[in-house]
């Protein structure tokens, strides 16, 4: 499952202006960081998952949440034992292992990781990179060179991921066994980066040649034929995100 791949659809979120979707994702990430309430952050995650299901991205959102739980669990453990303030909750031999502030801080940090990543996944799943690049140039007047660099970087992530799995499958067909612990899998994955790097360099070279043949250096704001007007739905989406930040700060 490619978490950064665009999923075509006709939902209201698909029809929003790409700049509005980018701003909303950024503001919702700020909302998750600003929030100091476990309950509010949990409700934010539930809201984001509900939006993903409404857009037909429920399975992908649950997959991302499951993957983020691993990272969140690691940060939970670190935060749990490194925060020493608050009333002791668990002690051993006169040494305080877990404090009340440490537990609440660890839970909040784990939830923040999920709440900040879900809007980004949703952004890439409902926005074509060509539209995002065009909207950045047309509406925000970002130089085409920089908009192209940003969107191309995200566009190549799914390609490199798929190619990495193809190389891994080729190694399995040659008898390499990837069954085992995490350390063994990491050791076996290191040799895969060499052919992946060579393939990436070929793609970059062919992509650069293709861009030059299409007049990359001649692109300006007026070169694109599509317009990306803001509608009431776009303004409402941004205002709702701002109100959520205010609510998170107040709570």
Structure tokens at 77: 């453990």
Q: Are 134 and 63 in contact (CB under 8 A)?
A: no
Specify the pLDDT at position 165.
77
Specify the pLDDT at position 21.
92
The span from the CA of 2 to the CA of 58, in Å, is 13
Q: Are 52 and 123 in contact (CB under 8 A)?
A: no
Cβ partners under 8 Å of residue 137, min gap 6: 143, 144, 147, 219, 221, 224
Specify the pLDDT at position 221.
66
Q: Are 134 and 224 in contact (CB under 8 A)?
A: yes
Q: Residue ranges of the domains in the chain? A: 1-127+227-251, 128-219
Bridge pairing between strands 88-92 and 95-99: antiparallel
Structure tokens at 75: 């940060």
The span from the CA of 47 to the CA of 68, in Å, is 17
Specify the pLDDT at position 129.
84
pLDDT in tens, the chain (251 residues): 456 678 888 888 888 899 999 999 999 999 999 988 889 999 999 998 888 888 777 887 888 788 888 887 888 887 777 777 767 766 666 666 677 777 888 888 888 888 998 888 888 888 888 888 888 888 888 888 888 887 777 777 777 777 777 877 887 787 777 666 667 777 777 777 777 778 777 777 777 777 777 777 767 666 666 788 888 989 999 999 999 999 988 88
Per-state percent for the chain, helix, strand, coil, to nearest 5: 75, 5, 25
Through-space distance between the first and last CA atoms of the chain, rounded to whole angstroms: 36
Beta bridge partners of 99: 88
Cβ partners under 8 Å of residue 70, min gap 6: none
Contacts 24+ apart (CB under 8 A), 39-46: 40/247, 40/248, 40/251, 41/108, 41/111, 41/112, 41/115, 42/111, 44/115, 44/244, 44/248, 45/111, 45/114, 45/115, 45/118
The span from the CA of 40 to the CA of 177, in Å, is 45
């Amino acid at each position: 499952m490619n978490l950064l791949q665009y999923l075509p659809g006709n939902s209201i979120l698909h029809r929003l202006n790409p700049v509005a979707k980018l701003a909303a994702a950024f503001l919702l990430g700020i909302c998750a960081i600003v929030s100091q309430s476990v309950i509010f952050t949990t409700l934010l995650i539930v809201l984001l998952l509900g939006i993903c299901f409404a857009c037909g991205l429920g399975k992908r959102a649950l997959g991302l949440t499951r993957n983020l739980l691993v990272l969140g669990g690691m940060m939970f453990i670190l935060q749990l034992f490194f925060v020493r303030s608050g009333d002791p909750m668990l002690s051993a031999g006169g040494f305080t292992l877990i404090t009340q502030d440490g537990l609440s801080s660890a839970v909040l940090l784990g939830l923040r990781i999920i709440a900040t990543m879900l809007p980004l996944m949703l952004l890439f799943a409902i926005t074509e990179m060509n539209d995002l690049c065009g909207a950045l140039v047309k509406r925000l007047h970002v130089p085409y060179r920089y908009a192209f660099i940003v969107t191309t970087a995200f566009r190549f992530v799914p390609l490199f991921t798929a190619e990495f799995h193809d190389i891994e499958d080729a190694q399995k067909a040659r008898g390499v066994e990837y069954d085992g612990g995490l350390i063994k899998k990491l050791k076996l994955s290191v040799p895969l980066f060499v052919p992946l790097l060579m393939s990436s360099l070929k793609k970059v070279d062919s992509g650069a040649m293709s861009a030059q043949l299409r007049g990359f250096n001649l692109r300006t704001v007026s070169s694109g034929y599509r317009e990306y007007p803001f509608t009431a739905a776009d303004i409402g989406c941004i205002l709702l995100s701002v109100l959520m930040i205010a609510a998170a700060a107040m709570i």
